[in-house]
Amino acid sequence: MGSKEAFRRIIFCVLLLLCVSCKCLTSEVNTTQLAVLKVDASPQHARKIPETLFGIFFEEINHAGAGGIWAELVSNRGFEAGGPNTPSSIDPWSIIGNESVISVATDRSSCFSRNIIALRMEVLCGDCQAGGVGIYNPGFWGMNIEDGKNYSLVMYAKSLENTELTVSLTSSDGLQNLSSATIQVAGTSNWTKLEQKLVAKGTNRTSRLQITTNKKGVIWLDQISLMPSDTYEGHGFRKELVSMLLDLKPQFMRFPGGCFVEGQWLRNAFRWRESVGPWEERPGHFGDVWGYWTDDGLGYYEFLQLSEDLGAAPIWVFNNGFSHNEEINTTAIAPFDILYSLEFARGSTNSTWGSLRVAMGHPEPFPVKYVTIGNEDCTKKFYHGNYLKFHRAIREAYPDIQIISNCDGSSKPLDHPADIYDFHVYGDSNTLFSMRNKFDSTPRNGTKAFVSEYAVSSNGVGRGTLLASLAEAAFLTGLEKNSDVVQMASYAPLFMNDNDRSWNPAAVVFNSWKQYGSPSYWMQTIFRESSGAVLHPVTINSMYSNSLAASAITWKASNSSFLRVKIVNIGSNPVNLIVSTTGLEALVNMRKSTITILTSKNLSDENSFSKPTNVVPVTRELPNAGEEMFAFLGPYSFTSFDLALGQQKHVS
């Protein structure tokens, strides 16, 4: 018997004697389970995990973009949200003053041909109230204005007579003035672009933008934008939200949906061409699946830019003729629009669409190498015909692009060509935990899987619980184990504005000025080194194994290497665990080894704005780190052992 096997048996017997001969003196000991986790770290049994395994999926849902990561502070900046028929609603804009002194209504007088709605404001008073009359915009549930920060205001105005406007940042009731400036508007029949820097002299988390005047007359306003100057890399994204994404180390970003791509009706589907070019000229659209208007300031170009900022490969999901209620017959559809979108991203500087990308500030092509044809459309009558039409056109023009089908290939081969197939899974915690073995029996030489949407989303999930994160962690260990057939995976949804919980839970929750990660977000941080790592086989020996899930990888950070052993205990019993590793070619450095544990007192525990770190991973030193080691797994826990690897072993 080898020394390692002897060690395992001695420890196991000692633990068994403690529990049996002592007759389990306390209830805690009585429920303690025993398990041996064997890790084969030998190079001959190792396998490289795809570089793309874990990434993110960004959908415009829950105000993830508009009122979220896209830093625009004005909601309905072009007055288009009320629809093309005038007069129309200007919500959330409101008037300052009463209807006896000011009248506002939309008309079709804008200078922008793609978004023709503008606001006509008639001031009826000659001696107006103190501070003037006008309009204000509260943004998305209040604007976060911070002391000392700069804000860039851009707006378009037209007045037949010389007039003067005061633009101000104030508290929600208008009583606290945080910043103010006066703008002269020359009398002319032409529209004038006005720009003004505003510096805040105070902080208010629920501020509003005011535009007022004391002069009687008529003025038209359109395309009013207010952006903070300190966005990420100057690209228009909220820094703190980008930071949370960077901490996940995403290898890809799937965008812009999801159902957002389709719409309930095709007229409300995302149309990439209407989301590029100067922001003032974008018509915006009503996202009828999730029930809100977006100005499409976060458009196709910005999604590509965000992917680049994150160092993530862009995965462009496009509409191929379907909404939730409509289908376009294959005979009536053409693939030109998607080819134009790829030319925009990848085309040369002198190509038609590539030159527009250059004009927007990005001379270098965006490396789009993945596209998904549709979203959850496989069962629709014309999907296969439409898919093949797009597939042929893309393959001919861009043979290097990986094409992703909506049809499930996990159980049987696809009946159409595809490089990758899309797979979505939502359910309760039992469903996700049980699906850790979903791809065990998938044919190993077929089309690869992209699990682009997974989450625990029902049965007591609350706003994102510890239990949900444990089930999802177990599911991800199964994806690691099957990463020879699973190419990519991403959680859904990514973001949620706390004021719009259309789909609950989400990885990151925010409001206008703060944010926190759900337990599911923090769970994903423990998998962020898995992409491109080396996978090692593991086995669990225990009568309690139905409540356990584990995986092992080796990964590198700077000049250091680590063996990471992850194990989920989703059961109510603690576990005395023996971790036995064979095949390591390097010695374990105990001083640099750590253990990270994600757990909490109750399965239903969540994070919140008041307790943002209620359920987060805790890391500490692992003084007993070694090829053979004993560990204690608490009930309802996710544990990661990082064994630092030092000098190579001497071979005698």
In this prediction, residue 196 carries a pLDDT of 98
Based on the fold, state whether residues 356 and 469 are members of the same structural domain.
yes
pLDDT in tens, 488-497: 999 999 999 9
**DSSP output for 512-531:** SS-EEE-HHHHHHHTTTT-T
| 173 plus 295 within the same structural domain | no
Nearest to 250 by CA among 57, 461, 464: 57
* Tens of pLDDT, residues 16-26: 444 433 333 33
| Same domain membership, residue 576 and residue 451 | no
Q: How confident is the model at residue 652 (pLDDT cuts 50, 70, 90)?
A: low
Return the higher-pLDDT residue of 447 and 23: 447
pLDDT band for position 14 (cuts 50, 70, 90): very low
Which residues share a beta bridge with 254? 57, 315
Q: What is the CATH number of the domain that holds 42?
A: 2.60.40.1180
Mean pLDDT to the nearest integer, 291-308: 98
In a domain, 189, yes or no: yes
More confident residue, 579 or 4: 579
- pLDDT for the residue 12: 45
Cα torsion for 386, 389, 395, 401, to the nearest 10°?
-20
Q: How does pLDDT run across 473-486, given as a tens digit for each residue?
A: 999 999 999 999 99
Phi, psi at 8, each rounded to 5°:
-60, -45
Name 146's Cβ contacts closer than 8 Å, sequence gap at least 6. Answer: 200, 203, 513
CB 276 within 8 Å of CB 355: no
In a domain? residue 496: yes
Domain count, the chain: 3
What 3-state DSSP class applies to 497?
Answer: strand
Q: Are residues 191 and 286 in the same domain?
A: no
The Cα diameter of the chain in Å comes to 101
> Is the same domain home to 320 and 443?
yes
Domain assignment of residue 539, given as a range: 35-48+534-648
Distance CA 106, CA 118 (A): 6
- What percentage of the chain has pLDDT greater than the value 70? 95
- Examine the fold and report which residue of 502, 532, 562 is the final residue of a domain before the chain moves on: 532
Return the H-helix or E-strand segment holding 446: none
Regarding whether 413 and 287 lie in a shared domain, the answer is yes
Check whether 553 has a pLDDT greater than 90.
yes
- For position 438, which CATH number holds? 3.20.20.80
Domain final residue, candidates 532, 554, 588: 532
Residue 16 lies inside a defined structural domain of this protein: no
- Are residue 393 and residue 248 in the same domain, yes or no? yes
Same domain (yes/no): 354, 379? yes
Residue after which a domain boundary falls, among 532, 565, 581: 532
71 inside domain? no
| More confident call, 14 vs 368 | 368
Q: Which two tokens stand for residue 174?
A: 């208008």
Q: Is pLDDT above 70 for 165?
A: yes
Sheet (strand 508-510) strand order:
495-497, 508-510, 515-517
**Residue 73 resides in a domain:** no
- The verdict on residue 457 lying in a domain is yes
Around 456, how many Cα atoms within 13 Å sit in the side-chain half-sphere? 33
The yes-or-no verdict on residue 5 having pLDDT over 70 is no
pLDDT at res. 651: 58
Q: Are residues 475 and 551 in the same domain?
A: no
> What percentage of the chain carries pLDDT values higher than 90?
91
Place of tokens 């596209």: 371
Question: For residue 6, is pLDDT > 70?
Answer: no
Residue found under tokens 């225990």: 542
**Of 513, 501, 610, 518, nearest in space to 239 by CA:** 513
Show Cβ contacts of residue 474 under 8 Å, excluding neighbours closer than 6 positions: 432, 433, 436, 549, 568, 570
Residue 264 and residue 288 in contact, taking contact as beta carbons nearer than 8 Å: yes
Summary mean pLDDT of the chain: 94
Peptide bond into 87 cis (omega under 30): yes
pLDDT of 499 higher than 50? yes
CA 76 to chain centre: 23
The DSSP element (H or E) to which 468 belongs, if any, is helix 466-481
Q: According to the model, what pLDDT value does residue 541 have?
A: 96
Question: Same structural domain for residues 540 and 528?
Answer: no
Buried b (16+ CB within 10 A) or exposed e, 161-188: eebebbbbbbbeeeeeebbeeebebeee
What is the CATH classification number for the domain harbouring 123? 2.60.120.260
Contact by Cβ (8 Å): 377, 322: yes
Minimal CA–CA distance to 152: which of 245, 257, 266, 74? Answer: 74
pLDDT at position 237: 98
The pLDDT of residue 62: 98
- Please indicate, yes or no, if residue 23 is contained in any of the structural domains: no
Q: For residues 513 and 572, state if they share a domain.
A: no
Q: Whose CA is closest to 71, among 298, 330, 398?
A: 298
d(CA 389, CA 393): 6
**447, two tokens:** 């089309």
Picking from 151, 113, 63, 83, the residue whose alpha carbon sits closest to that of residue 280 is: 113
8 in any annotated domain: no
The number of beta carbons lying within 10 Å of the beta carbon of residue 460 is 12
Note whether 204 and 278 are same-domain residues: no
The CB-side HSE value for 229 (13 A sphere, CA atoms) comes to: 13
At residue 24, the pLDDT reads 37
For 230, the token pair is 């300190």
Mean pLDDT for 349-378 is 98
Q: What is the mean pLDDT of residues 489-513?
A: 97
CA–chain centroid gap for 358, Å, is 27
Dihedral sign from CA coordinates of 166, 170, 176, 179 = negative
